[in-house]
Amino acid sequence: MSKKKFYKEYIEPIIIAVIIALFIRAFVVQAFKIPSSSMEPTLLVGDHILVNKFIYGIRIPFMDKKVLQFHQPKRGDIIVFIYPRDRSKDFIKRVIATGGEKVEIIRNKIYINDQLIEDPWGRYERPENLKYIPYIDHYGPYLVPQNSLFVLGDNRDNSQDSRFWGFVHLNEVKGKAFIIYFSWDRYANHIFNKIRWVRLGKLIR
């Protein structure tokens, strides 16, 4: 077989496949693994999720701008974003307030623009008689800057989120989590039980 034919039949398809895969990962869909319990019970440690990267606009690498923005993040969306205090890390949290909204939290109650909102996502496990914790028991009121988001983990008593390190700029949002494609429980005592079968293909809400 000639070198030219070998390249055309074997090397060229591999190169094209790699380019397509990189394009999809950069601009369409990307896989992430959940490393902590901050989003429980919605997302568990060991969940492997897919994130829609183009729904909020395509993020141009090495530039603080997006193009082709179809939607803006809204309250209730679970998003993956660049962690403001360490840009080498990605975080996942739920959007609670958007730019221009005033947010205040008083003992497990969330107020947006002075109105109590429904919060079906939050889990609170700390007993009522435990010590008062600033930022968790009383946050704000603060105005969310324009083009920014206030985000919380669903596991409210065990989440490092906007209460501690501030707001997320829209340009730092990588995408919206939409499905669990695999889930692995490393603490299960049997290999068959380590796969959380009921979570496979579960839509993220």
Does 134 sit behind a cis peptide bond, omega within 30 degrees of 0 on the bond before it?
no
Domain ranges of the chain: 33-203
Q: What is the DSSP string of 17-81?
A: HHHHHHHHHHHTEEEEE--SSTTTTTS-TTEEEEEESSTT-EEPTTSS-EES------TT-EEEE
- Confidence at residue 18, expressed as pLDDT on a 0 to 100 scale: 62
Residue among 33, 36, 38, 102 flagged as catalytic: 38
Residue among 93, 148, 159, 183 flagged as catalytic: 93
- Confidence at residue 45, expressed as pLDDT on a 0 to 100 scale: 97
Residue with tokens 């897919």: 50
174 is catalytic: no
The CATH superfamily holding the domain 33-203 is: Umud Fragment, subunit A (2.10.109.10)
- Confidence at residue 27, expressed as pLDDT on a 0 to 100 scale: 59
- Confidence at residue 199, expressed as pLDDT on a 0 to 100 scale: 96
- Confidence at residue 180, expressed as pLDDT on a 0 to 100 scale: 96
Interior angle at CA 113, CA 80 and CA 117, nearest 5: 65
Query: Along the 205 residues of the chain, how does pLDDT read in single tens digits?
Result: 666 665 555 566 566 566 655 555 555 688 999 999 999 999 999 999 999 988 887 766 666 666 666 789 999 999 999 999 999 999 999 999 999 999 999 988 999 999 999 999 999 887 666 677 776 789 999 999 999 999 999 999 999 999 999 999 998 999 999 999 999 999 888 877 899 999 999 999 9
38 is catalytic: yes
Q: What is the pTM of this model?
A: 0.85
Q: Which of the 8 DSSP states describes residue 2?
A: -
3-state helix, strand, coil in the chain (%, to 5): 20, 35, 45
- Confidence at residue 2, expressed as pLDDT on a 0 to 100 scale: 64
CA distance 92 to 82: 9
Type of residue numbered 60? I
